[in-house]
Structure 1
Amino acid sequence: MASIYKRPGSDVYQCQFYVSQPEGGLKKIRKSTGKTNRKEAMQVAVELERTGQGAIKAGSDEGQRAKGILAEAVSEVERGTFNAAAARKYVARLLAVATGEEMPEFSVEGWCQEWLRRKARDSSKGTMARYKTSIESFLLHLGARKVKPLESVTMANVRAWRETLQDGGRAGKTVNKYAKDVGSAFRAAIREGLITSNPCSALEAVSTEDSLDRKPFTIGEVVSLMTAAPSTEWRGLILAAAFTGLRLGDASRLSWSSIDLASKTITLVPSKTKKKKREVTIPIQPDLLNFLESLEIDDDSPAAPVFPKLAMIADAGGSGLSKAFEKIMKKANVDRGRASRETGEDAKDVGAGRVIFERGFHSLRHTFTTWLRTAGVAEEDRMALTGHSTRGSHAIYSHADAEVLHKAIAKLPSLTESK
């Protein structure tokens, strides 16, 4: 490594370093840095050493081989046969000469699958399902072009794909999510040095005016849903979702190990943030507490589900919990709200997009949040209760006080008083 020093009577730093000779051995090099500041002189010394070593290297076997490769490339340019494929070929050969490493090459499909594999290590099951859907949709649109080099994808390719999603009936928010996922794969490729630009980045987001916002239920509607529920487990599940904001999967598979009746809290890691191990603690609202205390607890199975029968049923599907809840809504005369598009036979068309309504089981989560906001609970406390972390590093560095959260839950309405 280069070193610096001053000659007697001089304020200018000199530098000294060694470079390897092509025939073997080392050669000592001494030069003036032209700098009187030590830090600046050291920077110059490092650069002089790098340049000196490069000059010697150019005369080595590796340097001569590199010159030969460049000469071949120039010859192709002159013949008019130099293209992107040729450029990749020559750069790969130069890298092999300089470092002995092979330059990674990916097709569009190959990189997308590699990206999915890496994301699976840190993403939840639900998030991965979305990533796979987005990537598979894009690759299906590319068809035979998916086996072409990664850098062959253009902005026009991405725009055409987005338009097919819109024409197929998918809402604007869904289209933007798909494009964001695919764009993330290309951004990762840029960081790897595989491509230089992201074909998704220059596209403006599509309009979301056709997208639906989830709507909450009123207190009366929640009471009607519980009345129409076909079993005690279903009544408890609706009650739990309304007063904890838990998503369908987390609420239906809630276990007794997550419940502390003494401290009146529910503590768990929601499935959506399982990879990040982001735990939430929710004080138990009085109506929900009364229900839980009325149930028999198996002391021999502390991890048993609170709703054992419902915990065995899948969330989605024709016979899943979501469909069952739709039937409960119909029986309770609770309106599902506006549909994302016209329903009918076309709702089963391949690629048309799933028909969603403004209100469903997830609306209970919106109901919980709406009740908290209506009761004047601060946004930070609402985020702590719902497990949201949309404000940057809030979830990592901000911790809600347990007493504050208990007071927040105490502000929620009572279903028994509304009857």
Structure 2
Amino acid sequence: MSVRKRKWTTPGGVEKEAWVVDYVDGKGTRRLKTFDRKKDAETFRDGTGVELRQGVHVADRDSVKLSRAGDVWIKGAVDAGLERSSTEAYRSHLDLHIKPFIGQERLSDLSVSMIRAFEDKLRENGRSPAMVRRILVSLGTLIADAQERGFVARNVVRDMRARRRRGERQDKRQKGKLKVGVDIPSREEIRAIVSALDGRWRPLILTAIFTGLRASELRGLRWRDVDLDKRELHVHQRADRFNAIGKPKSEAGERTVPLPPTVVNALREWKIACPRQKTGKLDDDGNPITVLELVFPNGVGNIEGLSNIIRRGLIPTQIAAGVTVPVLDEHGEPMKDKEGNPVVAGKYSGMHSLRHFYASWCINRTEEGGLGLPAKMVQERLGHSTIVLTMDRYGHLFPRGDDEAELASAERLLLG
């Protein structure tokens, strides 16, 4: 592999020069790449030499444009059976954010500085910091797929992330911990919510509070998976945001969760009134045949929408229970209605807050009204794929064991 200077004269009589890297790729094909500066040519030579020795080099002519690689990536995800919600999110990132800014770039031309410039463009064009992070994750996944297909040798997005992680070691920022009363409803708030529950939302929200099921798992729960005599339910499926039924998020998501008496009684009552689902068939008298399928369906027995559960169930119940926060105007001042009363909203905006409460209830000491379960059992109840995920999210809620009374008791037991 050599670097040499090349000089020539254009048809118009202008003398030009450039630096050429001359090498043979892994397929035995001679390749030439031209640079304006010797330094750039030498950098390419050194990097390409490493890639050739590792057997991962991809010449520019064998590379493709980012937009093309993105289309191949999406098709592969769909063909592999990836959830529709995930492929739709990827397609949105590709079509609305990646293609308009850097879609015409060749994969082999991408560099860390180019990705940094792409980040800046996204922010300048109104993308939020959270959206920028999600787009970069999708871009990194796209390039990883292109690597596997032999379109490119390096994943510059992951190279950039690695550099940032090294830099963050000197200025490590701890992710905010979930807080009771902020992210997790307190025991007093849960009592108020339970007291305010009524109608069709009572069994659903009670089940969410005392089983910790994800909203998608609640929406996909079937009566055949609920055993009221044994006081337990089995999670075998979930409903995504497109109302498509599929398997739980991970293998650990398939699990058995015990039901407390309050939930069992509420479900027994609800089963009598629960809407049935039409089968599309007729009985001998010509009447539509219906079946009792989903535990928490909409009014005609089909999958209930998540937004409906939140808007009509969770939020109004919190307001009725007094678990609210004031609504602020654009100046940060509390808003008031026409009668001068404060305008309030439900304090917790999503069903996941109830899952957080269930986790804290499993963890808390029995003398504090909790179950006092060990970490491994909490992981199993929540359906987390690893115990690391459980501890990262909820580890700070577990009793530390260094309470003065606990230490004194342990000392007495040890020493007599």
When the two structures are superposed, what TM-score results if normalisation uses the length of structure 1?
0.56
Contact 1:153 1:199 in 2 (8 A): yes
Q: Which amino acid aligns with 1:372?
A: C
CA–CA distance in structure 2, aligned partners of residues 122 and 219 of structure 1: 41
- Written as runs of structure 1 = structure 2, the 5 A alignment for 1:199-238 is 199-201=156-158, 202-203=160-161, 204=164, 215-229=183-197, 231-238=198-205
Say if 2:389 is the partner of 1:383.
Answer: no
Match of 2:67 among 97, 109, 112: 109
Structure 1 pair 377–337 and aligned structure 2 pair: CA distance change class (3 A)? farther
Is the partner of 1:114 in helix, strand or coil? helix
Shift of 1:369: 0.7
Indicate the residue corresponding to 1:250 in structure 2: 217
- Written as runs of structure 1 = structure 2, the 5 A alignment for 1:81-92 is none
Say if 2:336 is the partner of 1:368.
Answer: no
Q: 1:298-321, CA deviations, whole angstroms, 9 ceiling, x for partnerless residues?
A: 8996652223336544223xxx33
**Higher relative strand content:** 2
Q: Which amino acid aligns with 1:314?
A: G
CA–CA distance in structure 1, aligned partners of residues 259 and 64 of structure 2: 52
Match of 1:332 among 301, 321, 341: 321
Structure 1 pair 148–171 and aligned structure 2 pair: CA distance change class (3 A)? closer
Match of 2:152 among 185, 195, 206: 195
Indicate the residue corresponding to 2:141 in structure 1: 184
Match of 2:77 among 119, 128, 143: 119
Q: 161-170 or 180-189, which moves further after superposition? A: 161-170
Match of 2:295 among 300, 306, 311: 306
CA–CA distance in structure 1, aligned partners of residues 127 and 96 of structure 2: 14
CA–CA distance in structure 1, aligned partners of residues 35 and 129 of structure 2: 51
Is the partner of 1:282 in helix, strand or coil? strand
Contact 1:221 1:334 in 2 (8 A): yes
Q: Which amino acid aligns with 1:305?
A: L
Is the partner of 1:308 in helix, strand or coil? coil
Shift of 1:259: 0.5
Structure 1 gaps, min length 5: 1-65, 84-102, 345-355, 395-419
Structure 1 pair 244–130 and aligned structure 2 pair: CA distance change class (3 A)? farther
Contact 2:63 2:108 in 1 (8 A): no
Indicate the residue corresponding to 1:292 in structure 2: 267
Q: Which amino acid aligns with 2:105?
A: K
CA–CA distance in structure 2, aligned partners of residues 112 and 343 of structure 1: 42
Contact 2:209 2:358 in 1 (8 A): yes
Contact 2:203 2:266 in 1 (8 A): yes
CA–CA distance in structure 2, aligned partners of residues 116 and 389 of structure 1: 25
Structure 1 pair 127–79 and aligned structure 2 pair: CA distance change class (3 A)? closer
Say if 2:309 is the partner of 1:321.
Answer: yes
Q: What RMSD over aligned residues (CA atoms) do the two structures have, in Å?
A: 4.4
Q: 1:237-295, CA deviations, whole angstroms, 9 ceiling, x for partnerless residues?
A: 11011111112232134221111122221112343754755412111122111111223
Shift of 1:362: 1.4
Contact 2:221 2:237 in 1 (8 A): no
Contact 1:138 1:161 in 2 (8 A): no
Q: Which amino acid aligns with 1:225?
A: I
CA–CA distance in structure 1, aligned partners of residues 363 and 77 of structure 2: 34
Match of 1:162 among 116, 119, 123: 119
Structure 1 pair 138–156 and aligned structure 2 pair: CA distance change class (3 A)? farther
Contact 1:112 1:135 in 2 (8 A): yes
CA–CA distance in structure 2, aligned partners of residues 307 and 285 of structure 1: 18
CA–CA distance in structure 1, aligned partners of residues 155 and 84 of structure 2: 26
Larger RCO (CA within 8 A; separation ≥ 6): 1
Shift of 1:194: 1.4
Q: 1:204-249, CA deviations, whole angstroms, 9 ceiling, x for partnerless residues?
A: 26997898957111233223334444x5221111101111111223
Contact 2:64 2:107 in 1 (8 A): yes
Contact 1:124 1:275 in 2 (8 A): no
Q: 1:47-90, CA deviations, whole angstroms, 9 ceiling, x for partnerless residues?
A: xxxxxxxxxxxxxxxxxxx99x74xx56x86999xx9xxxxxxx
Is the partner of 1:267 in helix, strand or coil? strand
- Written as runs of structure 1 = structure 2, the 5 A alignment for 1:146-157 is 146-157=103-114
The percentage of counterpart residues that share the same residue type is 19
Q: Which amino acid aligns with 1:386?
A: L
Is the partner of 2:116 in helix, strand or coil? helix
Contact 2:212 2:382 in 1 (8 A): yes
Q: 1:166-220, CA deviations, whole angstroms, 9 ceiling, x for partnerless residues?
A: 5647355x54443223212212222322111112122326997898957111233
Is the partner of 1:295 in helix, strand or coil? helix
Contact 1:242 1:367 in 2 (8 A): yes
